[in-house]
Structures are given as C-alpha cells and as structure tokens.
C-alpha cells in the first residue's frame, strides 16, 4: 500500500510539471509551425484591426538610488556657563520649546554678590581718593600760578591726581566685570528653538564650557545622508534632489547646500547635507531618504496597458507582417504610464493595444 501511495504522489508531481511545460511550450509557439519560436500568433485575430499601435521606444533612464539619512537642524547650541558655580535651577526639559532670551538655568550667585559688594566698596574709596587728589591739583595749580608753590610741589601733586584717577578707573572696571559675572549666572536661550537634551541637574557644579543643555532651532532643517563617494562626486551644491520622509508620508524637493570634502576611509562615503523646505510636522531627528540618480542605462519602453498578465507570465501582442503575434516578455520598473521591457522585444517593433472594438 505504501508503495502504491508513493507511486500516485510521484505521478501527480510529474503530471503537474508536464502541464507547466506544455503551457510554456504553447506560449512560446511550440504548437504552431508557421510562427517563429518565442511568439504565438493570436488564435482569434487574423489582423491588427481593432488595436492601437505603439512603437517600442529606446531611451536612456536614470538609475535612481536611495540613501538613508536623518533630519538635523542647521543651528545647534550647547548652553554652558562661563564661570565655575553651582547650578541651583534648570527651567527646561528635553522637548521644551523656548524663545530667544528665555531663562534656561540659574547659577549660584552668592559669591558674585560678595565680590560685587567688595568691588563697589573699592570703587567708592578709589573715587573719593581721586576727588581729593583732583582738589589738591586745583589748589596747587592756583598757588603755582601765583608763584606760591615750587615746580617740584606742583609736579608731585599733579602726578598723585593722575595716579588716583587711574586707580578709580581700574576700580570701576573691576566693578563692571563683577556685574558681568553676575549676568553670567543666568543662562538664556540664544535663539528660538527646542531643547534636545538636559545634560546636568540642579546641584551639579557648573564649569566653563561644560554644557547644561543642548538646543537647536526648528527652522532651517536639512537631511544629512552618507552617500558612496563614486555617486557623491556627481553631485554639486545647489542641485535639487528628492527627499522622502516616511514618517510624514511625503516627498520633498530639497537643495544640496553642503558636501563634506572628506571621504570616510571605512565606509568610502561622503556626507551630503540637503536643505529642506519648511514643512508641517518636519522635525529634527526624523528618518528620511535621499533619492537621486547615480547613473543611466538604455531601456526599452512600451505603454503599460500593452502588457497582459496570464498567470505568472507577462505577454504583449506584436504586429508581425500586419498580424498580431503573442510575445512573452520580462517587465521591469514602471515609469508613469510606461513600463520597461527587459527582454522579449526590440527597439522599433510595434506593439498592439486592444481598443475593445475588434472587427
């Protein structure tokens, strides 16, 4: 019984294979001695009447490529203290939108206030000393003009007045510097934007050059994509390119505004930066694709409605000596209303498109 079942199963497989072979032979004209191999004369149409015709067109087409990229902002700022002081307050979190001049963080200003009081006291003393020296200078000038004072006394008093005024100026500069430091305890947004990261917390020690937060503008966004060097060499700044943002389901027209001249030695790519138009919903960090032709190839094109689909096969009707002949073809990409033919046709041949009014 087992042997009989195996024989039936084998017979079924052989029958299915034979059926497929017969179908392919039929499509390729194996049962019609009057038609050249690879094509079959239509059994219902004896002429091209009732068909529209189209020539098989040979044309150079762009080989479109896609490279992944990320949306970035042109302006990114790391907000860091200019002085060493403890952070006592941070007003923003990641994702917050801020306006130019908004308070970002506050540093401990007690030491600065102490320095300010000392500087103001020093300034007051220096100015008082300068005023007394100025008065002495005026008196010595009066006495010297009446020959009641010697030249030596005159020179000493004038020099003392100048020295006192210089000390007052220096004290005023020191007081202004302390006031500037006091302003530096308030970290403010340099432009309208959005907070990317909060890098420190209240209680941390703020250090010069160490960022407290990172922010970027939401205007002037661009896609940055790593492109193979052999393709990047074909691009130039100012070139319009296609950008696809999957999250928005949109295709945008961007313009290349920067091409890094350095080739990554590991990936052999160059960074292409594409300026993007203002678009609702477009945000830094989103994923996108840079789409652009890297090369071209010769292609054969026919109207898409000239192709018929029979099972897994694609066929067209070709006019041969005024008669429709079925031809098996291999189809490639679609370009608007036309399709690329990879095999089965030659440039200049005439394909038939049924109008539904066969005579």
- Signed CA dihedral, 309, 310, 312, 314: sign only: negative
Strand extents, DSSP E, 74-161: 76-79, 85-90, 97-98, 103-107
Cα separation, 33 vs 232, in Å, equals: 54
User: Residue 43 has what pLDDT?
Assistant: 45
The CA-atom distances, in angstroms, between 111 and each of 107, 114, 118, 206 are: 11, 5, 11, 14
Q: Calculate mean pLDDT across residues 28-33.
A: 44
User: Residue 35 has what pLDDT?
Assistant: 37
Q: pTM to 2 decimals?
A: 0.53
**Is 277 in a helix, a strand, or coil?**
coil
**Rg over CA atoms, the chain:** 42
The CA-atom distances, in angstroms, between 56 and each of 53, 299, 300, 333, 340 are: 10, 10, 6, 15, 10
Instruction: Return the top range by mean pLDDT from 23-37, 177-191, 270-284.
Output: 270-284
Contact yes or no for 33/262 (Cβ under 8 A): no
The CA-atom distances, in angstroms, between 101 and each of 79, 193, 272 are: 12, 11, 33
Give all domains of the chain, ordered by start, each with its CATH number: 27-74+220-359 (2.40.30.170), 76-214 (2.40.50.100)
pLDDT of 27 above 50: no
């Amino acid at each position: 019984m087992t042997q009989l079942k195996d024989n039936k199963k084998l017979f079924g497989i052989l029958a299915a294979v034979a059926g497929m072979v017969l179908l392919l032979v039929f499509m390729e004209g194996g049962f019609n001695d009057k038609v050249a191999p690879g094509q079959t004369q239509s059994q219902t149409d004896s002429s091209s009447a009732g068909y529209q015709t189209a020539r098989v067109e040979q044309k150079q087409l762009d080989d479109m490529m896609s490279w992944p990229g990320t949306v970035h902002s042109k302006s990114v700022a790391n907000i860091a203290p200019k002085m060493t002081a403890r952070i006592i307050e941070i007003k923003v979190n990641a994702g917050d939108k801020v306006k130019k001049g908004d308070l970002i963080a506050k540093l401990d200003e007690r030491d600065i206030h102490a320095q300010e009081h000392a500087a103001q006291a020093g300034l007051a003393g220096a100015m008082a000393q300068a005023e007394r020296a100025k008065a002495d200078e005026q008196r010595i000038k009066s006495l010297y003009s009446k020959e009641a004072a010697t030249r030596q006394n005159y020179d000493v008093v004038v020099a003392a007045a100048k020295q006192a005024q210089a000390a007052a100026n220096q004290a005023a500069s020191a007081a202004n510097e302390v006031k500037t430091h006091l302003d530096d305890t308030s970290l403010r947004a340099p432009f309208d934007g959005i907070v990317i990261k909060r890098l420190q917390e209240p209680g941390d020690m703020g250090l010069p050059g160490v960022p407290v937060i990172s922010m970027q503008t939401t205007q002037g966004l661009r896609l940055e994509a790593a492109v193979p060097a052999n393709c990047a060499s074909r691009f130039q700044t100012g070139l319009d390119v296609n950008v696809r943002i999957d999250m928005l389901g949109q295709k945008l027209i961007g313009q290349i505004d920067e091409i890094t001249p350095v080739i990554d030695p590991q990936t052999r790519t160059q960074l292409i930066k594409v300026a993007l138009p203002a678009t609702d919903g477009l945000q830094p960090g989103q994923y996108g694709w840079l789409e652009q032709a890297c090369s071209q190839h010769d292609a054969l094109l026919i109207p898409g409605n000239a192709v018929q689909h029979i099972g897994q096969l694609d066929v067209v009707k070709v006019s041969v000596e005024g008669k429709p002949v079925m031809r098996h073809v291999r189809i490639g990409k679609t370009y608007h209303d036309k399709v690329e033919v990879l095999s089965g046709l030659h440039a200049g041949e005439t394909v038939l498109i049924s109008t539904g009014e066969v005579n």
